[in-house]
Amino acid sequence: MTELTLVEAVNRALRHAMEEDERVIILGEDVGADGGVFRATVGLLERFGPDRVRDTPLAETAIAGMSIGLAAQGFHPVAEVQFDGFMFPTLDQMINHAARLRTRTRGRLSCPMVLRAPYGGGIHAPEHHSDSVETYFAHAPGLRVVIPSSPERAYRLLLSAIRDPDPVVFLEPKRLYRAAKEEVADDGAGMPLDRCFALRQGTDATLIAWGAMTAEVLAAAQALEDEGISAEVVDVATLKPLDADTILRSVEKTGRAVIVHEAPLTGGLGGEIAARIAESALLSLLAPIRRVTGYDCVMPLPRLESSYLPSAADVVEAVREVMAFK
């Protein structure tokens, strides 16, 4: 076993998938000789050659659109968009085509592709390099949206995403790319694409998060333990389809729910999760559901970035509030 960072785990999964299935090909901007701007594809060009690791011209619509054509022909393209803020041109292709090709043709054609991108804030990046875009994709029927938050889950979920017969949007929290190392066995085992992960057991409150926010939430849970509050942490790594059952079971146990995401509040997936809890676990609740999210503001430039992003302290504060509710 080797200790890997999250981005190294992505690289390992890509390599493993390409070794096991020659239909897997990679395309995107600077994915070849440069190995991707975050080095997610490093070494793959050398190993698999330019037919399977393909530098594209600077054209996001074409990157997504070509992937659809390749996928309809039986390839399993893994397309990289360089940053979250440049995914918007792919929405048209992903929503109008990738997500519905199987439905539209009653299964005659399908779209086994993965659209990968680093996403989210926290690394002091320039404008348009820190957005949380999961909601846009998660709203589209026919797409899976997956966000790993540890090297192990990055490796296993990406393998499953590549093997999946349908389109998956795979968003990698860039703030966690090199934040921690973890032992990951390169054994090719995947993880299910429609399960949440309980990262920590607890009895007083359920903290629900994904992406880089899982780190804040875990830190908050640790701090709360010192105050005698036992927090359960759920990583919603598979945002769509949403494994509401795991979340509901936890909230039924703890009676309190705090949902944390860095995407803006309004229309964010926290609202969807809150609604599911209200619909199905209302009578278990001991306090109102709380959301700790980004503001409904334009993602600020680095000087105000930390004021925008939810922090462990914000989560601790919210949990204290729900614990104090009478």
| Residues near another protein, by CB under 8 A | 25, 51, 56-57, 59, 61-62, 64-75, 77, 89, 92-93, 96-97, 101-110, 141-142, 164-166, 193-194, 241-245
| Single-letter amino acid, residue 201 | Q
Cβ at position 150, least distance to another protein in Å = 23
Instruction: Output the six-digit token pair for 256.
Output: 């309190």
Cβ at position 280, least distance to another protein in Å = 11
> Residue 298, exposed/middle/buried by CB under 10 A (0-12, 13-18, 19+)?
exposed
Instruction: Output the six-digit token pair for 283.
Output: 């009578």
Distances from the Cα of 154 to the Cα of 97, 135, 260, angstroms: 26, 20, 20
In the bound state with another protein, the residue whose beta carbon lies nearer, of 77 and 202, is 77
Cβ at position 125, least distance to another protein in Å = 25
Q: Active site residue: 16, 76, 97, 129, which one? A: 129
In the bound state with another protein, the residue whose beta carbon lies nearer, of 140 and 315, is 140
Cβ at position 235, least distance to another protein in Å = 17
Active site residue 128: no
> Residue 296, exposed/middle/buried by CB under 10 A (0-12, 13-18, 19+)?
exposed
Place of tokens 């309809």: 72
Specify the 3-state DSSP secondary structure of 310. coil
In the bound state with another protein, the residue whose beta carbon lies nearer, of 92 and 227, is 92
In the bound state with another protein, the residue whose beta carbon lies nearer, of 48 and 308, is 48
Fill in the DSSP letter of residue 158: H
Cβ at position 56, least distance to another protein in Å = 7
CA distance 176 to 178: 5
Task: Annotate 237-292 with DSSP letters as a single string.
Answer: -EEETT-HHHHHHHHHHHS-EEEEEEEESTT-HHHHHHHHHHHHHGGG-SS--EEE
Output phi, psi for 324, to 5 deg: -80, -15
| Single-letter amino acid, residue 286 | L
Buried b (16+ CB within 10 A) or exposed e, 32-69: beebbbbbbbbebbeebeeebbbbbeeebebbbbbbbe
- Taking CA 29 as the corner, what is the angle to CA 123 and CA 40, rounded to the nearest 5 degrees? 55
Cβ at position 75, least distance to another protein in Å = 6
In the bound state with another protein, the residue whose beta carbon lies nearer, of 4 and 274, is 274
The runs of H, that is alpha helices, within 5-120 are 6-20, 44-48, 60-72, 88-96, 101-104
Contact 91, 103 (CB under 8 A): no
In the bound state with another protein, the residue whose beta carbon lies nearer, of 106 and 326, is 106
In the bound state with another protein, the residue whose beta carbon lies nearer, of 29 and 262, is 29
Cβ at position 261, least distance to another protein in Å = 19
Catalytic residue positions, numbered = 129
